[in-house]
Amino acid sequence: MEQRLIQLDEPFLLFGHGQSLPHPKDGLTLFGPYADNPGSVRYGIIGTKDALDQFAKWSASVNCARPAHKGGRFTRQKQSDYGKLAHQFFPGFEAAFGLNWNQPAEALCIVPDDVLENALKTHDLHTRIARVTKVFTKRLIKQHFESENKPDLWFVVIPQALERLCRPESEPPKDYLDGTRADDFAQFGLFVEKAEADSFAEEYEDALKFKPDFHNQLKARLLKHQIITQIVQAETLDACLRSPDNPVRGKEDPATILWNLATSIFYKTRRRPWILSDFRPGVCYMGIVFKRLSKAQGDNNACCGAQMFLEDGNGMVFKGALGPWYSEDSRECHLDRDEAAKLLDRALLSYADEHDNNAPKEIYVHGSVRFNDEEWAGFLEAAEPYGTKVIGVRIRRTFGGLKLMTRGSGAVLRGTALLMSKKKAFLFASGFAPRLNTYPGWNTPNPLDVEICNGEADIEVVLNDILRLSKLNYNSCKFSDGFPITLKFAGKIGDILTTSPPDIKSGQSVEDYKPLPFWHYI
């Protein structure tokens, strides 16, 4: 096969009234969401009193239209109109999504200021984040299950201090409390009683079992309770109330923030804002997730998981087994045959449960590395009883290397692909989008390196699928992403799956973990 350059059409999305358009904001503004489920957003809120007051102001304005950003970053006169199509006004939540925005909330949970402040004044990072997470989760879980009308979604409103002090690389607070350093547990003189020192030592050792990230710890601790959350900074809510000509530094314009928040909220109420308009029945996609563990957790040096997506927008996350999947020699993670078969079997069973016990005709398994012989044998073993065709596709980001330039000063068109062979191609999933009249990026776009490494498929079909899957990110309302949804959140999903230590005492196996919808993780 000769190398050749092709241009793929921009995928269309399906919205209300059976109408299709390529841009989510256009479709929602003109036709409303695909899922026409009348009702209202039943939500709860947890945060400090000031945070709840800020949310109340934001909530009162969520149905108001917000003007589009004028594209003021383009300074030269000849560029004054360039890129304006990338910004779009927000018509209001109810106008865009056809769903009532209830006020007041179904449930309110106030976090006392002094309790949160004391937790934030802990010097040790692991203990600080564990304490702050427990401040929220204990109250949220109790309030959720005591509520007569349980909210569909909880807003976790966090202050700027929490955001600053509860990230993986956060520095300790300057005004930390005595006896909260990592080495203080061995210094009994800092405590009134030895029991108090022993209590801190136990707390510190327990905190070390969790990865230090507030967002991921909160999500991980709530998984078994199946409580869906939307974590939002109070500063972000404030940014939504500002003038589009005076945005908060480091934040997007108000209309864009509202579009993204509203889409995520709608999706987390178990509704689909859009689906692909030309989906192929009987086809699904699975992205393999690996996350390396710390050496302290023993020979099981990596956790495996999978994200399965259907073309109607539904997504599920499966937790795989811990094991010695990472190899220092190859610097790659690979499952053994048995675990590969179990993982794919769980995905096929989940699909069948949603489709009257009918397995998919085809499943495309996406990964960032080529699957080895053992993995592939396990996939085929699992698929054989179902009669499902399996195709293994490696998708990697490239940095440097191949570049395509246009005759003018603009970026290459999104959807441009260089076919290298019947099984390998470079795809520009990001690039100039005529609908936006701009390339929504800063540097020259880099292509994805796509290879059909196992099984048989048409390379153009695979490339089209990747473009289509780049438009199923319901965590925002972008025109598209530069990566398919099967792999875009792989790192974040892996972080949440490995944030909590394995529950060895309960004797739970991987099969005991119920697959959960994607909205629990974003």
What would the pLDDT profile of 320-357 be if each residue is shown by its tens digit? Answer: 888 889 888 888 999 999 999 999 999 999 999 989 99
CB 447 within 8 A of CB 235: no
Are the beta carbons of 376 and 454 closer than 8 angstroms?
yes
Higher local confidence (pLDDT), 266 or 299: 266
218, pLDDT greater than 80: yes
Q: What is the mean pLDDT of residues 167-182?
A: 87
Residues 160-164: contacts with CB under 8 Å, at least 24 apart: 160/233, 160/234, 160/235, 161/120, 162/116, 162/120, 162/132, 162/214, 163/233, 163/235
Distance CA 429, CA 413 (A): 9
Distance CA 458, CA 422 (A): 7
Bridge partners, 286 (sequence order): 308, 365
Report the Cα 161 to chain-centroid distance in Å. Answer: 23
pLDDT in tens, 414-451: 999 999 999 999 999 999 999 988 888 878 899 999 99
Burial class (CB in 10 A: 0-12, 13-18, 19+), 315: buried
pLDDT of residue 502: 60
**Which one is predicted more confidently, 181 or 346?**
346
pLDDT of residue 329: 86
Out of 305-309, 401-405, 420-424, pick the least confident. Answer: 401-405
- The first and second tokens of residue 106, run together, are 């179904």
In this prediction, residue 214 has a pLDDT band, given cuts at 50, 70 and 90, of very high
Helix (H, G, I), strand (E, B) or coil at 304: strand
Length, in residues, of the chain: 522
CB 348 within 8 A of CB 286: no
Contacts of 456 (CB under 8 A, 6+ apart): 391
Residue whose pair of structure tokens reads 């086809």 in the numeric block: 283
Longest dimension (CA), the chain: 79
Q: Any idea which residue has 């109420």 for tokens? A: 269
Identify the pLDDT of residue 1. Answer: 67
More confident residue, 7 or 203: 7
pLDDT higher than 60, residue 505: no
Region(s) of the chain under CATH 3.40.50.2300: 36-271
Peptide bond into 104 cis (omega under 30): yes
Q: What mean pLDDT comes out for the span 248-268?
A: 90
Residue in 448, 450, 416 with CA at minimum distance from that of residue 432: 416
Quick one: pLDDT band at residue 374, thresholds 50, 70, 90?
Answer: very high
Strand 283-292 to 362-367 pairing: parallel
Give the pTM: 0.90
Q: Which CATH class for the 275-510 domain?
A: alpha beta
List pLDDT tens digits, range 29-39: 999 999 877 78
CA distance to 1, 194, 200, 243, 426, per residue, from 402 (Å): 19, 64, 55, 41, 9
Angle between helices 125-146 and 214-222 (to 10 degrees): 40
Phi, psi for 496 (deg, rounded to 5): -70, -40
pLDDT (0 to 100) of residue 425: 96
Contacts of range 176-185, beta carbons closer than 8 Å, 24 or more positions apart:
176/121, 176/122, 176/123, 177/118, 177/121, 177/122, 177/123, 180/121, 180/122, 180/123, 180/124, 180/127, 180/128, 181/123, 181/124, 182/123, 182/124, 182/126, 182/127, 184/123
Structure tokens belonging to residue 495: 């972080």
pLDDT, one tens digit per residue, over 56-77 is 999 999 999 999 877 654 334 4
**Average pLDDT, integer, range 258-274:** 95
Distance CA 261, CA 485 (A): 18
Q: Is the pLDDT of residue 238 over 60?
A: yes
Average pLDDT (189-215) is 68
Side-chain half-sphere CA neighbours of 16 within 13 A:
20
Query: Helices 214-222 and 490-499: crossing angle, nearest 10°?
Result: 70
pLDDT for the residue numbered 37: 75
* Residue written as token pair 């792989």: 490
* CA end-to-end span of the chain: 41
CATH fold for the domain made of 36-271: Rossmann fold (3.40.50)
What is the pLDDT at residue 185?
Answer: 57
Sign of CA dihedral 56, 57, 58, 64: positive
